C-alpha cells in the first residue's frame, strides 16, 4: 500500500445541517462518489476499535471514535466479535497506517476495504462529540459528494427508531458450541463471540435464530435460555418479546444489552431512546446488593423506563445518569443487565453474572428433579 497516497476530500454532514471536513478512507476511498449513511453515535473507548467495529449491535450506525489515534495496533483475527462488521462506517481523527502489534495480520484500512466499510478521517472528533452530546445522536451522511447532496442523504436516513435491525444480524441456522455440562439455548439478536466464549465455560450452547418460537426452544429441554445483545429499537421487536413471554417461568433466563431490554419488556416494562446513548468502556455502574461500583463497557441507544417496571427490582444503576443497568424478576427465574459483563474493562468486575446464571440454572434443575 502507498501510505502517502493523496486522498479524496470528503465531508460528514449531519441531518441538522452541521458539516465536518475530512478525507475518505476504507471503501469510500476505493469507490469515490459513494455515499454512506446511518445514525451517528460516538464511542469513548481508548482501545478495542476492532471489537467495536465488529460488534453487530452497531448495525445501522456510524461510529465516531473520541480517541484520536485509531488503527495503531492493526487487526488481529481472534479479536473479531462477528464474521464481519455491520456498522455503516467509522469517523476518526487520525487513521494509523503502520500498526505495531505482533498479533496484527493487516492494517485497519485494509480490513475496512475487505468488508466494504467506508469511513472519514481527519475529522475534528472533539467538536463532533460535543455537538452530539448537545444535539443527540442523529442521522448522517458522508462521502466525497457535494455537501448539498450529502445533506439530502442524511435527512433521508431513517435512523434506528422503529426499525428491526436484528433480522440483519441474526444467524440463519442454529449451531452448537461445545462447553460446560449444562444445556443452554442462546437467542442470537446479534451475539458477540466473547459472550459465547464465557457462556461456553458453564454450558454447551445451541445458538438459534432470533425468531425461533418458544415452543421449539422448550422442546430442546434446555437448562437455561440466554437473550443476547443486538442492535436497534426494542420497541420494534414485539414479535421477539412475544416468544420471550412464553418462556417466562418455564426456564431460567439471562439477558444482556438488547436481551435486557426485551426481557424487561416481556415483564411489562417500556423502553425509551437515550439522547446519545452509552457507548464506551468506562461507565461506572452501582451494584445495589453490595454497594460496589463496577467499571463497565456499554453499547446501547435505548434503555428501560424504571417507572414502568413491574414484578422486577433494579439491581444495577448507571452512576452517570441514573439509567437502569440491571433487573431481577421477583416472580420468575430471570435477570438481565444493560451493560456488557463479557467485555471486562474493569477487567473482571462483572464476570460473576455468568456464575450467577449457572447457579440459577442448577437451582431450577434441582427443583424440577425434586418434583
What would the grid cell of residue 309 be? 417496571
CB 63 within 8 A of CB 91: yes
Q: Which residues are catalytic?
A: 257, 340, 342
The pLDDT of residue 365 is 63
Query: What is the grid cell recorded at 37?
Result: 449513511
Domain spans in the chain, listed from the N-terminal domain onward: 9-156, 166-370
| pLDDT (0 to 100) of residue 345 | 84
Angle made by CA atoms 310, 315, 320, in degrees to the nearest 5: 110
Give yes or no for residue 136 having a pLDDT over 50: yes
State the pLDDT at residue 332: 97
- Cβ pair 351, 340 in contact under 8 A: no
Residue 271 to residue 125: CA distance in whole angstroms: 29
Q: Kindly report, residue by residue over 95-104, the tens digit of the pLDDT.
A: 998 999 999 9
| CATH topology assigned to domain 9-156 | Glucose Oxidase; domain 1 (3.50.30)
Percent of the chain with pLDDT over 70: 96
How far out from the chain centre does Cα 301 lie?
A: 9
Instruction: Provide the pLDDT confidence category of residue 206 given band limits of 50, 70 and 90.
Output: very high
Gap between the Cα atoms of 111 and 156, Å rounded: 28
Q: Which residue has the higher pLDDT, 365 or 112?
A: 112
Task: Report the pLDDT value the prediction gives residue 347, as an integer from 0 to 100.
Answer: 82
Q: Is the pLDDT of residue 366 over 80?
A: no
* pLDDT of 280 higher than 70: yes
pLDDT at 227: 98
The residue with greater pLDDT, 15 or 370, is 15
- Give the chain's mean pLDDT: 95
Measured in Å, how far apart are the chain's first and last C-alpha atoms? 67
368: pLDDT strictly greater than 80: no
Q: Is the pLDDT of residue 288 over 90?
A: yes
pTM: 0.95
Q: Residue 190 contacts by C-beta under 8 Å, 6 or more apart in sequence?
A: 55, 56, 57, 59, 82, 86, 165, 166, 169, 170, 228, 229, 230, 231, 258
Write the pLDDT tens digit of every residue in 169-203.
999 999 999 999 999 999 999 999 999 999 999 99
CATH topology of domain 166-370: Rossmann fold (3.40.50)
**Rg (the chain; Cα; Å):** 21
pLDDT band at 371; cut points 50, 70, 90: very low
Residue 85 CB neighbours (<10 A): 26
pLDDT over 80 at 357, yes or no: yes
Whether 48 shows a pLDDT value over 60: the answer reads yes
Which conformational region is residue 259 in: left (phi greater than 0), alpha (psi within -120 to 50 degrees), or beta? alpha
Residue 59 has a pLDDT of: 98
Mean pLDDT within 62-89: 97
Return the closest-CA partner of residue 293 out of 319, 325, 321: 319
Sheet holding 175-177, edge to edge: 175-177, 203-209, 182-188, 224-227, 253-256, 334-337, 324-329, 312-318, 271-287, 292-304
Residue 141 pLDDT: 98
For residue 228, with 0-12 CB atoms within 10 Å meaning exposed, 13-18 middle and 19 or more buried, which class applies? buried
Residue 294 has pLDDT above 60, yes or no: yes
Amino acid at each position: 500500500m502507498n501510505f502517502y497516497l493523496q486522498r479524496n476530500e470528503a465531508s460528514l454532514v449531519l441531518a441538522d445541517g452541521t458539516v465536518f471536513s475530512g478525507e475518505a478512507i476504507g471503501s469510500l476511498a476505493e469507490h469515490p462518489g459513494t455515499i454512506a449513511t446511518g445514525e451517528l453515535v460516538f464511542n469513548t473507548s481508548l482501545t478495542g476499535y476492532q471489537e467495536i467495529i465488529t460488534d453487530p449491535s452497531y448495525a445501522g450506525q456510524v461510529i465516531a471514535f473520541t480517541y484520536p489515534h485509531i488503527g495503531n495496533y492493526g487487526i488481529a483475527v481472534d479479536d473479531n466479535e462477528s464474521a464481519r462488521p455491520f456498522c455503516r462506517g467509522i469517523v476518526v481523527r487520525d487513521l494509523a497506517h503502520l500498526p505495531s502489534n505482533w498479533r496484527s495480520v493487516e492494517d485497519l484500512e485494509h480490513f475496512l476495504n475487505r468488508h466494504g466499510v467506508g469511513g472519514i478521517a481527519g475529522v475534528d472528533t472533539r467538536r463532533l462529540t460535543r455537538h452530539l452530546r448537545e444535539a443527540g445522536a442523529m442521522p448522517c451522511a458522508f462521502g466525497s459528494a457535494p455537501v448539498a447532496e450529502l445533506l439530502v442523504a442524511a435527512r433521508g436516513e431513517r435512523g434506528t427508531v422503529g426499525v428491526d435491525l436484528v433480522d440483519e444480524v441474526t444467524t440463519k441456522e442454529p449451531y452448537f458450541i461445545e462447553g460446560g455440562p449444562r444445556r443452554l439455548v442462546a437467542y442470537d439478536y446479534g451475539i458477540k463471540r466473547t459472550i459465547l466464549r464465557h457462556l461456553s465455560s458453564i454450558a454447551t450452547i445451541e445458538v438459534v435464530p432470533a425468531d425461533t418460537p418458544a415452543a421449539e426452544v422448550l422442546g430442546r429441554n434446555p437448562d437455561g435460555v440466554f437473550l443476547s445483545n443486538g442492535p436497534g429499537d426494542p420497541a420494534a421487536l414485539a414479535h421477539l418479546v412475544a416468544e420471550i413471554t412464553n418462556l417466562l417461568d418455564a426456564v431460567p433466563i439471562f439477558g444482556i444489552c438488547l436481551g435486557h431490554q426485551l426481557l424487561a419488556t416481556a415483564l411489562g416494562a417500556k423502553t425509551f431512546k437515550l439522547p446519545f446513548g452509552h457507548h464506551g468502556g468506562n461507565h461506572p455502574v452501582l451494584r445495589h446488593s453490595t454497594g460496589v461500583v463496577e467499571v463497565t463497557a456499554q453499547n446501547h441507544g435505548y434503555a428501560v423506563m424504571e417507572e414502568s417496571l413491574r414484578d422486577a427490582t433494579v439491581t444495577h444503576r448507571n452512576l452517570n445518569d441514573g439509567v437502569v443497568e440491571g433487573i431481577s424478576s421477583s416472580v420468575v427465574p430471570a435477570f438481565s443487565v444493560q451493560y456488557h459483563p463479557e467485555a471486562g474493562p474493569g477487567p473482571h468486575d462483572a464476570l460473576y453474572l455468568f456464575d450467577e446464571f449457572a447457579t440459577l440454572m442448577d437451582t431450577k434443575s434441582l427443583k424440577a428433579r425434586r418434583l
